[in-house]
Structures are given as structure tokens and as C-alpha cells.
Amino acid sequence: MLEATRGENVLDIVLSSQKEFVDNVKICEPLGCSDHNQIHFIIKVKGERNRKIRYRNIFHKGRHKDMREYLAKIDWTNTLKNKAATECWNILKSNIDCVVDKFVPLKKQGKRSKKKHLSKEAIRKIKYKQMMWKIYIDIPEVKKTIAFIKKHLIKLQLKLEIQREATNKK
């Protein structure tokens, strides 16, 4: 800084590896009761967005029977014979990774939440409400009540249809 930032003293500096990164440096009036002037400046750095597409395994859609058959065909006794524990682990892990790659489908990993306007806490509470609703609906008395309402709703819809047909015929 070449201008005073506190009284007549120059106390502040703006550091940058390249002069072009900092632009439009201004000394402004103090904020509130402070005796230090504000320093406003623009940082001109463009970052690149990481647009790498990420994938994740969908294990519940994996072909588990094929996985078991593939792993059963491996002669584990001879494969792991006279090997150290770390070496055995690496062999086992590489075989499991191979099986997962062959028999478990991938899904493009999307954005975390489409509800960007909601906080994580709000999203968590919505999920909790949905879970509690599923539990509530499974209560036998509630199921009976829902069935009763559906039955009477169907009867009312039929009566309404008959009345509409009768008025249309007149």
C-alpha cells in the first residue's frame, strides 16, 4: 500500500505472486468505530471447474450368483500358498475388485441433492418424516382405515358417475 491506512501510517500490504492477480486497490473510509481504513481490491484469478464424471457401483443390482461362481472357480489353496499375509490380502482384494468390475453395474454419480434451496437439516427432517410415514402406514389399524376409505371412495365415484350419466340422458 502506498497510502496511509491508519491515521498517517501505512500499516497494510497486499501480497501476490503476480502483480496482475490484484486489481483496483482502493483505500476506503473506516468501518464503524474502527480507526483503520478499509482496503478494497479485486482478485483476478480464474479457477477451472472439476468436471470429471464420477461413477459409483450399484451393489443391489449386481449379479451376485455370477460373482459367487467366479470366486468359487479360483483355486484359493494354491493361489495363496506360501504367501505372506499382506500378499494374500492384495491377491484377495484384486480378485474382489475384478469381480465387482465385471458383475456390478455403475451409475453416474449425480448432484447430491436437487433441493439446493433447502439446508441439510431440512432435507434430513424431510427424509425422517417420509420414513415415519412409511412406518405409520404399516400399522394394521391404519391399513384397515385406508382400505375402508378406498372402498367407500370407489362407491361414491360410481354413484357420481351414475348421476352424471342420468343427467346427460335427460
The whole-angstrom separation of Cα 151 and Cα 47 is 61
* Mean pLDDT calculated for residue range 102-120: 78
Residue 26 covered by a domain: yes
12 vs 67: CA distance, rounded Å: 65
**pLDDT tens by residue, 18-64:** 777 778 888 778 777 877 778 887 887 776 666 778 889 999 999 99
Using DSSP's 3-state secondary structure scheme, residue 105 falls into coil
Q: How large is the angle between the packed helices 64-72 and 85-103, nearest 10 degrees?
A: 140
Residue 114 belongs to a domain: no
pLDDT band of residue 2 (cuts 50, 70, 90) is low
Do 74 and 36 lie in one domain? The reply is no
Residue span of the structural domain in which 80 resides: 55-108
What's the alpha-carbon Rg for the chain, to the nearest Å? Answer: 34
Q: Kindly state whether residue 145 falls inside one of the protein's structural domains.
A: yes
State the amino acid at position 93 in one-letter form: K
Q: pTM of the prediction? A: 0.38
Kindly state whether residues 59 and 104 are assigned to the same domain: yes
Q: In this structure, is residue 113 part of a structural domain?
A: no
Count up the domains in the chain and report the number: 3
86 in the same domain as 66? yes
